């Protein structure tokens, strides 16, 4: 479990969740943040709606989901996520887009953190089996599970190029 803790902390550092936001953070509520995921071609978009009074540091990341099945938590956190978008989100509705995603099945994991100076006050995570409980045991933050669950999405492969017959094939077909 120590490896998972190190990995989680490393992942959180690699993804811009730990960005400090100046100013005093307002009281956080479980319903302050919602996520909505969508796939458009090779892009995965997370529409984040924040009712928090302050700027949030958010990240939307993808991890492989072999065979289109939600992988165990250790498989998602262990290797880390290399496909992600992150940054500060103001109150209201914003989007984060992970672009140029290779074809395949992925699980989407979204997180937002409310910070008071250098300290994280609260975190909202997309519902993933065991993630909120695990976070509560390793980090001293209030962790809220967002109703939009982490979900498996599929990025389709490129459409095959139409097959055009060669001039030789056409000549042969028409007896020329």
Report pLDDT for 176. 59
Q: What integer is the mean pLDDT of 66-71?
A: 90
Report pLDDT for 11. 42
Domain boundaries, the chain: 2-173
Instruction: Tell me the pLDDT band of 158, cut-offs 50, 70 and 90.
Output: low
pLDDT for 93-109, tens place per residue?
Answer: 999 999 999 999 999 99
Instruction: Tell me the pLDDT band of 84, cut-offs 50, 70 and 90.
Output: very high
Three-state SS annotation for 44-96: EEEEEEECCCCCEEEEEEEEECHHHCCCCHHHHHCCCCCEEEEEEECCEEEEE
């Amino acid at each position: 479990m120590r490896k998972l803790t190190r990995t989680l902390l490393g992942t959180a550092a690699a993804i811009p969740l730990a960005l400090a936001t100046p100013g005093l953070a307002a009281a956080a509520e479980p319903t302050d943040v919602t996520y909505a995921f969508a796939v458009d071609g090779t892009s995965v978009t997370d529409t984040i709606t924040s009712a928090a009074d302050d700027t949030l540091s958010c990240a939307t990341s993808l991890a492989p989901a072999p065979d289109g099945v939600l992988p165990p938590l250790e498989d998602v956190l262990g290797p880390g996520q290399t496909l992600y978008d992150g940054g500060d989100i103001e109150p209201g509705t914003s989007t984060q887009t992970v672009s140029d995603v290779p074809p395949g099945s992925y699980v989407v994991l979204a997180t937002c953190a409310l910070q008071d100076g250098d300290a994280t006050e609260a975190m909202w995570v997309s519902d993933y089996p065991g993630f909120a409980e695990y976070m509560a045991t390793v980090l001293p933050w209030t962790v809220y599970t967002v109703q939009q669950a982490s979900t498996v999405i599929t990025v389709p492969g490129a459409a095959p190029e139409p097959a055009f017959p060669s001039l030789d094939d056409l000549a042969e077909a028409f007896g020329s």
